[in-house]
Amino acid sequence: MKLTFLKPDLQTPCDLPLFMSPVRAGFPSPAEDYLEQSLDLNKHLIKHPAATFFVRVDGDSMKDASIHKGDILIVDRAIPPSNGKIVIAALQGEFTVKRIQIKDGEIFLCPENPSFKPIKIEADSDFHVWGVVTYVIHKL
């Protein structure tokens, strides 16, 4: 899996309209068509600006976690990795995105696609967790 790393531009606010009324799946009410606030996506999605990066995904090993080729991951390096989190890991000099599983003191990098096998991290592996994925951005 190939990953492309980008740094967020926090100098420009990303204020977008935010409608306070919930979106209904039934008949819409025209009386609720009004804007109440704005939402800055930088403030909402980026908790640790100095430690946050965007990563573009190339590959399909995480498709069952709704992470697809071309998606952008928001990765926070200030969050400690823990069991079950989706992480960006460096293994043998290559970056990958996988779910980290810790069982009986052993570490596995697990894909979310049955076509791929989990990777067991051996004691002599050149391995470290680079950051924790906090959000996925993709087109519908």
Residues known to be catalytic: 61, 98
> How many C-alpha atoms does 4 have within 13 Å on its Cβ side?
8
Q: What angle do CA 49, 89, 116 make, to 5 degrees?
A: 130
Phi-psi region of 80 (alpha: psi -120 to 50; beta: other; left: phi over 0): beta
How far is residue 97's CA from residue 103's CA, in Å, rounded to a whole number? 19
Please give the single-letter amino acid code of residue 16: L
How far is residue 66's CA from residue 64's CA, in Å, rounded to a whole number? 5
- In the DSSP assignment, the letter for residue 109 is E
